[in-house]
Structure 1
Amino acid sequence: MLKIVLSELHHNFFLMKWGWMMWMFLYFMVSGTSSLVVVHQPPVLAAALGNDVTMQCQLQLSHDEKMLTVPVLYWLRLTPGHENLRLWRPSVTYKERVALLDKNSNSTNKSILLRNVQWADSGKYLCKLSITTEKGKSFRRTGNETLLIVHDTMNFNLTGHNDSLLRCEVNVSLQTGLVLSIFHDGCKAQPVDIAQGDADAAPPFVTLSENISLNGSGKYECQLHLNEDLIMKSTFHYLPPVAEQGGDARKNLMTTRPTITSDEVLYPEPWLLYVSLLLVPITILLGLVTALLMCRL
């Protein structure tokens, strides 16, 4: 009997303990979300060399939180081992290259526009806000950093010395995790070789390249990825040449260049059809003229 009573007491204590822990967990979760103030930044941004890029930063407040003062915005370029560079308000390095997208000082959109992106702009950026609210009073919130990757134009074509070898090449900023791949009709092609440029020989970018042997007609696509994110791609459509009767197919292959388009293949003009369509009204017209001449006679 005593064992049963002790067992029930232990069971009740266990339930009370877990009930208390769950209540405390819900309390802190609800109280935390009721006064939530968060700064959102995308983890990765990619920009073409010489183009403009939007550095996104969004302030999010819960429904029961209210700003008492205008938020003070700080945009920083993180430079480990050195003093961080200011994008906003712009330092000398970024003078006349940075603009605030939303001019309303009370707006929660604190994104900026970085103009004329250069290789030296690649790196990590941080959005920080100093804010005063009813519940949280005065404090500072930061985002989770944004990695800016810079790239130039992707070259995807047959190699100059071998018309059966397809080469993809692109210069990218010195970031880790970038991968170049070529696909044939949706399937990843086996590379002949993969070459990566020497960062010390060509600062401040590295050249990624990949070569594959042409394996029949179809759509070839070169893709640049950072982990699971597609940064950029280029498409190459290939239609193999046909050797003339008694001719050399290999020779014809070397002198025939495939058509490169963005999403479609070019087809020859149907001149025979055009001529046939024109002959119909001409024949009818000649028949009418002949009939009129016969009536007059």
Structure 2
Amino acid sequence: MSAAVWGGVLGATAAGGAWLAASRVAAVRRPQLASRVMPFLRDLPQPDGLRAATPAAGTTNPLAAVFGPSLQRAAAGVERVLGGSTSVRRRLERAGLDRSVHDFRVQQVVWGLVALIGAAVIGVVRSIADPGAVVTSLVLCGLAFVGGVVACDNRLTSLVTRREREILLEFPVLAELLALAVAAGEGPVAALDRVVRRSGGELSRELATVLAAIRTGEPVSSAFDRLASRTGVPLVARFADGISVAVERGTPLADVLHAQAADVREAGRRELIESAARREVLMMVPVVFVILPVTVLFAFWPGVVGLSLTTP
């Protein structure tokens, strides 16, 4: 082929690439139909997938504009394969994360891609040294992607466990403060407002959500019923149910709060005793393998040295 033909081919290729890039930029900059219509339909409920797929107003991140649709399609694929959106939504609520299920699936895909990139780098290095390890590297990449997705899910579970542990630690103090405020003559809403303004933590944020719902017109018993159904801690659910019943039936609220705090402290002591009983064998490991050999060595070593000195 002559130089003119090669020049024509290269020019056509460059022109085609420029046209594709320009058309993609125009498609990205063009506002979508959902972004133009949804601001006028704010009162309508939106599914998680539609809410995640709708771009936020003023979004100027080029990476999100280019890779966002691909990540969303991959997240939809992960959702179809794994399922369990109800469980994920429940765990997101229990973890206190203001995030939809689709956003969490996108995060899982990102974690999987990061693990996949790391495994691909290792596979390339191995393939340079051993060209026959290509199939093993591909399998490793697939396992790395799955491991990243599973690791993200396990991290969400660990966040839920840590937050519920913090709620249990905060609960007795906040319950006692509420009981003192109610015993001083304040109503449930005023006592809740006082405690929320003077405390911080996960349980305080949950109570702030309850207080906001009450101030918007929701009944006190209904707001605490929602707290009982939302939380994953049985003691907090029982606390919310107790307050709801006390408000509805007019029973002394201070006594209920004191009893709830005492129950939580007793449950904490019982859990500590059970944990110590489960770890009794582990507590014996340093005694048997560290302290006892040293004691025996200190007891018998002088005798061994004396025998060696007196032996002719």
Q: Quick check: which has more Rg, 1 or 2?
A: 1
| TM exceeding 0.5 | no
| TM score, norm. by length of structure 2 | 0.26
